[in-house]
Chains A and B, each alone.
Chain A
């Protein structure tokens, strides 16, 4: 069974700092990996999707990388802002050959950006 781990569980940084969030997974046979943001009491908002054949994806101040062979992904946030404060979750999608449940989630990193 796929296990997804996110470290650290919580992170607090001053505004303007660059930061990296980590996601690791045990089974490298993934189809893609997706990073989400979740605000308290709300659903998840998709940030970036990386296919297994890709190494990275960028959107604005966000950059996500994927190293499938080592079972790792990182989410890099540049020039952090207080509005970035939220919980960030990663989810891996297992290979398309399998049917049924496709996605396995980590427990998230709670980010606080201090003004």
Chain B
């Protein structure tokens, strides 16, 4: 069945770049998403990419898609303390399937 995999934890020093990786199984996915969840809150859509794109940039965020390897990544440049959150990768075919989330911890 459809599955989305991502590592559970990532620690990054403040000011460095964070790269969160994700793999998915459904080759017919049309959209891929990155959501952010801050403590005690709902999920907020950060960015998305169409499956026919390789890259999308939005200010400090860069999304890379390798469709052949079914690999998606989110790069956050100049990581700040406010970026500390759980980041969910998700794919859409007819439904949205979420990964288990990567908890990003910022080191001073």
Do the two shown chains form a genuine complex with each other?
A: no
* A interface with B by C-beta (< 8 Å): none
- B interface vs A, CB < 8 Å? none
